[in-house]
Amino acid sequence: MLNVPTQSFPAPSSQQRVSPSGQSGRSKVALKPGHSLMDWIRFSKSGKDLTGLRGRLIEVTQEELQKHNTRNDCWTCIRGLVYNVTPYMDYHPGGEEELMKAAGIDGTDLFDQVHRWVNYESMLKECLVGRMATKVTTAIKAIVPPPPLTGLAPPMSVAPPPDKDSRPRYDWFQTDVAVHLVVYAKRKIPGSGCTTVDLRSGVLRLELLLGKMSYMIHLRLAEEVEENVSVNTAFSVGKIQLSIRKQDKGKWTSLGQPQELHNTFVQKKDRAPFYRDCVLVSKTEVNHNTHVFRLQLPRGTVVHVPVGKHVYLKASIQDTEVVRAYTPVDQNLAAAGSSHLSSQESDLYLMIKVYPEGVLTQHLNTLLTGDRISVSGPEGTFSVRRLRDVTHLYLLAAGTGFTPMTRLIRLAQDIDTIRETRLLFFNRREEDILWRCQLDQLAADDERFQVEHVLSDPCESWSGRKGRVDESMLRDFLNRPEGSKCYVCVCGPTAFTELTIGLLKLQGFSEDELHAFRG
């Protein structure tokens, strides 16, 4: 989920992922006391032998891997690396049943389906058994031996490129004072933006997101430049132009030297998230346990997170890399201008609830102005194209599942076909409601927007809706006028999302009319 508190809706103390269809990808498991993420970090650093090999790293054959397929002796392989996950069984939020699905086999695909973004190498490094043995056929011997075990970084899987004519291409031109790089996407580009640029120490990295595909330019520029990048996009013709000022006047003989993965066009899921260190500019209180963290991107970086996408925050806590997904919000619901942020917006605003047992949120809460945190580029499957011709947009949110809804609400104001946007917002108590005054003011100012609050533990004076999501509540809230085109977005704790998606399907909503946000 995206920055969602499990406390805001009664659910097991597990962290489950929801598939696009709303079906759970992980079983519901209440972890035993003393088996939180922080407990696992402490246990894995205790010096105990978690592999049973007394510190040795071995080459594992397919036959050997298959032998370790029981609850008390469970090995699995992820991208060529083999781990003994037996000690992790009681700490896994999805429970042992989920881990056992990959017992004795290659679990890469299963892992990618659930949490591709998790740094398993950091989380399970004390459980590393070794590398899978290289397969050798009788006809052809491997010419290049596998990298040594100390590297532990298998090559990324690259999907076959689409038809050559459909691949983006780039060109460049220059003046005495500037160099200009032009990317031709060969298709229209969504107005919500899809380009990230990082320029550091003369190395340029540009990633262009086109649906499920990612196009990358990665160059060490030929000469020194200033770390200021101007990005201009012609959305209708699919053209992006980067302009960079040269440090010294003159003509270049080439643009630069290609770096790793330069000029590649692969599926986004095969491209590892790229992180840059951002500076905490401010932290503004929203309510008693939630703040808006304002993060400033480094100089030379342009990141625009499209509506409905999220970013990952990453921190090293007790020598373990911890990653969580968060959805950016605008400064407030009443911010002036279009819902689409400028492609050169330099700051990210993240609304984050701090949990007493939250490993990363507790770390974030200790950051001071000027401190740094690693932030990825945009991730996620939502596309604003899904709102094309929609007349009625319904948003169902629980707790900080509200965060992806904030920019959707503003986006809907700019879409003429949307006649009505309605938010059903679930919380525990009144003091938990995020941006309540802004929501109520927006509803008063815009006749196309309505909001209803639902509390599961209200005070006696509460006159609004009470309880938890159920069939009758959704039937009252959802209106499907004749000739309308409806779309429903859901975000909250996994139990809330699963139940809500199931109820919506019972009421006749199709897969194409539903989206469950997830990280």
Give 110's pLDDT tier (boundaries 50, 70, 90): confident
Note whether 21-132 and 165-270 share their fold.
Answer: no
How high is the pLDDT of residue 33?
80
Whether residue 48 has pLDDT greater than 90: no
Task: Give the start-to-end residue ranges of the domains of the chain.
Answer: 21-132, 165-270, 275-376, 384-516
- Give the whole-number percent of the chain exceeding pLDDT 90: 57
What does the alpha-carbon distance between residue 349 and residue 283 come to, in Å, rounded to a whole number?
9
Q: Specify the range with the lowest mean pLDDT, choosing from 35-39, 155-159, 317-321.
A: 155-159
Other C-beta atoms closer than 10 Å to the C-beta of 218 total 19
Given a cut of 80, whether residue 346 has pLDDT beyond it is no
**C-alpha–C-alpha distance, residues 445 and 324, integer Å:** 35
Task: Name residue, tokens 């699905």.
Answer: 101
- Summarised one tens digit per residue, pLDDT across range 269-297 is 888 899 999 999 999 999 999 999 999 99
Q: Which two tokens stand for residue 332?
A: 């407030």
pLDDT of residue 44: 83
Distance between CA atoms of 310 and 422, rounded to whole angstroms? Answer: 22
Whether 423 shows a pLDDT value over 80: the answer reads yes
- The band of 509, judged by pLDDT with boundaries at 50, 70 and 90, is very high
Q: Specify whether the CB–CB gap between 345 and 304 falls below 8 A.
A: yes
Query: Average of pLDDT values for 46-59?
Result: 83
pLDDT tens digits for 188-221?
Answer: 887 666 899 999 999 999 999 988 899 999 999 9
Query: Which CATH number, 3.40.630.10, 3.20.20.10, 3.40.50.80, 3.40.50.720, labels domain 384-516?
Result: 3.40.50.80
Q: Amino acid identity, residue 383?
A: S
User: Is a pLDDT exceeding 90 seen at residue 148?
Assistant: no
When mean pLDDT is compared over 104-108, 405-409, 411-415, the highest value belongs to 405-409
Least confident of 130-139, 210-219, 309-318, 458-467: 130-139
Q: With bands split at pLDDT 50, 70 and 90, how would you rate the model's confidence at 250?
A: very high
pLDDT score for 55: 76
Q: How far apart are CA 414 and CA 422, in angstroms?
A: 15
Task: Evaluate if residue 4 carries a pLDDT over 80.
Answer: no
pLDDT (average), residues 343-372: 88
pLDDT digits (tens, 9 = 90+) for 159-173: 445 555 789 999 999
Q: Which CATH architecture has domain 165-270?
A: Sandwich (2.60)
DSSP, collapsed to helix, strand or coil, labels residue 356 as coil
Q: What is the pLDDT of residues 85-105, one digit of tens each?
A: 999 888 887 778 888 898 999
Pairing of strands 264-267, 225-234: unpaired
Position 503 pLDDT exceeds 90 = yes
Task: For residue 452, give both structure tokens.
Answer: 């209803």
Query: What CATH number belongs to 21-132?
Result: 3.10.120.10
The pLDDT value given to residue 2: 54
Q: Has residue 19 got a pLDDT over 60?
A: no
- Bigger pLDDT: 234 or 151? 234
**Whole-number mean pLDDT of the chain?**
84
Is residue 348 exposed (0-12), middle (13-18) or buried (19+ Cβ within 10 Å)? buried
pLDDT higher at 519 or 475: 475
300 in Cβ contact with 204 (< 8 Å): no
Residue 25: the pLDDT is: 39
- Residue 366 pLDDT level (bands cut at 50, 70, 90): very high
Mean pLDDT confidence for 434-461: 95
Q: What is the pLDDT of residue 434?
A: 96
Alpha carbons 359 and 356: distance in angstroms, whole number: 9
- Rounded to whole angstroms, how far apart are CA atoms 391 and 104? 50
Mean pLDDT of 384-407: 94
pTM value is 0.74
> pLDDT confidence of 156, banded at 50, 70, 90?
very low
pLDDT score of 193 = 66
Can you read off the two tokens belonging to residue 422? 């309605």
Cβ(242)–Cβ(348) below 8 Å:
no
pLDDT at residue number 21:
37
Do residues 498 and 1 lie in contact, with contact meaning Cβ atoms separated by under 8 Å? Answer: no
Residue 98 confidence (pLDDT): 82
**Architecture of domain 275-376 in this structure:** Beta Barrel (2.40)
Q: Give the highest mean pLDDT range of 105-109, 348-352, 355-359.
A: 348-352
Cα 142 → chain centroid: 37
Q: Which residue has the higher pLDDT, 405 or 341?
A: 405
Structure tokens at 336: 């002036």
Identify the pLDDT of residue 30: 65
The answer to whether residue 34 scores a pLDDT higher than 70 is yes
Q: Give the model's confidence band at 430: pLDDT under 50 very low, under 70 low, under 90 confident, else very high.
A: very high
466: Cβ contacts below 8 Å, ≥ 6 apart: 454, 455, 456, 458
pLDDT of 510 higher than 90: yes
Cβ-based neighbour number of residue 163 at 10 Å: 6
